[in-house]
């Protein structure tokens, strides 16, 4: 089994576990980003309060709306990303070694090369998996509607007689979301938001650059002080993953909001402020009608969700990679022992 495949499968496994743990936060954050009702914006609602509102008004299942395609998307995204990351990383390492033989550099992959490797891996990932995330966004932002029972009464009912209920007229599953996107924009609709998402490859690029820089420095310091022992614990990986994701999220968050607005269901009637024709149109309308504050809606929720998910992902991935390599080494050793002399 190749090193790229091991990293790809480990990344997929770690991503699924991180997604399961943090999914309710992701759902609430997507709703915060796509909120366009200016009246609701005047009353600040915290993340926990909003989660409670969703549970009370729509049920627990709405916090996990789109979970199935999201898990598929997470596995696909992490698998594709780590697979191509390892391939590009290996090429960069070979190039660095060749340059060292020529007297250029110290044979290690520099910060700029790490950034380029992560960016290329991110671009491949975005182009292949964007349709999945369009569907996930639609399902996360789908809301049950508020209706008044007995609306055909001629007389206006007394306040105590008015019964409000949250209803979902039709089940809204993955198939419904796919049909909705196709009816709205055709085949190209599944690549809505791909432009800001491609720019957002700088997020994992920055994340991995920061992560590998911190990891490299720690291993170097530890190898010097511990006579060659440069091992890293799972909790140290957890911490580095969290810090790296925190820095990357703070830089790229506005693009994430624009992407969510484009991928959510578009309002085709009524207020023109809620209709986005493309990335530039969304940015200009958000600046005009919401101000720069609109680009940072739900950022605190996103930071908590992203940092926790990234930290869990890195920790699980590294442990899975170690386990897989140990099994391969053990298996190879057993094969050698079983061969006759």
Instruction: Answer positive or negative: Cα dihedral of 173, 177, 182, 188.
Output: negative
Q: Which of 30-34, 167-171, 270-274, 282-286 has the weakest average pLDDT?
A: 167-171
- For residues 200 and 98, give the distance between their C-alpha atoms in angstroms, rounded to a whole number: 31
188 CB burial (10 A radius; 0-12, 13-18, 19+): exposed
| Alpha-carbon distance values, 266 to 76, 270, 282 (Å) | 26, 11, 11
- Looking at the DSSP bridge assignments, the partners of residue 148 are 164
- For residues 341 and 181, give the distance between their C-alpha atoms in angstroms, rounded to a whole number: 64
> Please, are residues 295 and 253 in contact by the beta-carbon 8 Å criterion?
yes
Residues in the chain: 341
pTM more than 0.75: no
* Residue 140 or 160, more confident: 140
Nearest-CA neighbor of 213 among 255, 249, 243, 258? 243
272 CB burial (10 A radius; 0-12, 13-18, 19+): exposed
> Please, are residues 286 and 294 in contact by the beta-carbon 8 Å criterion?
yes
Q: What is the pLDDT of residues 185-208, one digit of tens each?
A: 888 989 999 999 888 887 766 787
Q: What is the pLDDT of residues 213-251, one digit of tens each?
A: 888 888 888 877 765 666 778 888 888 888 887 888 778
């Amino acid at each position: 089994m190749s090193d790229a495949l091991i990293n790809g499968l480990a990344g997929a496994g770690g991503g699924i576990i991180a997604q399961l743990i943090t999914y309710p936060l992701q759902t609430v954050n997507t709703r915060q980003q796509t909120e366009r009702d200016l009246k609701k914006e005047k009353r600040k609602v915290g993340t926990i309060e909003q989660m409670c509102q969703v549970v009370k008004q729509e049920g627990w299942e709405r916090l996990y709306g789109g979970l199935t395609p999201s898990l598929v998307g997470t596995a696909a995204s992490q698998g594709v990303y780590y697979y191509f990351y390892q391939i590009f990383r290996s090429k960069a390492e070979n190039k660095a070694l060749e340059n060292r033989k020529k007297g250029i550099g110290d044979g290690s992959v520099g910060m700029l090369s790490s950034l380029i490797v992560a960016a290329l891996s991110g671009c491949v990932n975005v182009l292949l998996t964007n349709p999945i995330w369009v569907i996930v966004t639609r399902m996360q932002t789908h809301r049950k509607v508020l209706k008044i029972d007995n609306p055909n009464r001629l007389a206006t009912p007394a306040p105590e007689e008015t019964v409000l209920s949250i209803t979902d007229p039709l089940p809204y599953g993955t198939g419904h979301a796919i049909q909705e996107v196709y009816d709205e924009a055709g085949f190209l609709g599944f690549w809505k938001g791909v432009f800001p998402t491609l720019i957002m490859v700088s997020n994992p690029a920055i994340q991995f650059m920061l992560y590998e820089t911190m990891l490299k420095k720690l291993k170097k310091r530890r190898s010097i002080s511990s006579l060659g022992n440069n091992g890293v614990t799972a909790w140290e990986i957890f911490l580095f993953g969290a810090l790296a994701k925190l820095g990357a999220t703070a830089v790229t968050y506005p693009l994430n909001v624009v992407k969510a607005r484009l991928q959510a269901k578009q309002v085709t009637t009524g207020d023109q402020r809620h209709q986005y024709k493309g990335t530039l149109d969304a940015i200009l309308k958000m600046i005009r009608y919401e101000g720069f504050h609109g680009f940072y809606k739900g950022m605190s929720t996103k930071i908590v969700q992203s940092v926790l998910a990234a930290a869990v992902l890195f920790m699980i991935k590294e442990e899975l990679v170690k386990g897989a390599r140990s099994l391969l080494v053990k298996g190879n050793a057993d094969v050698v022992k079983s061969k006759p002399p």
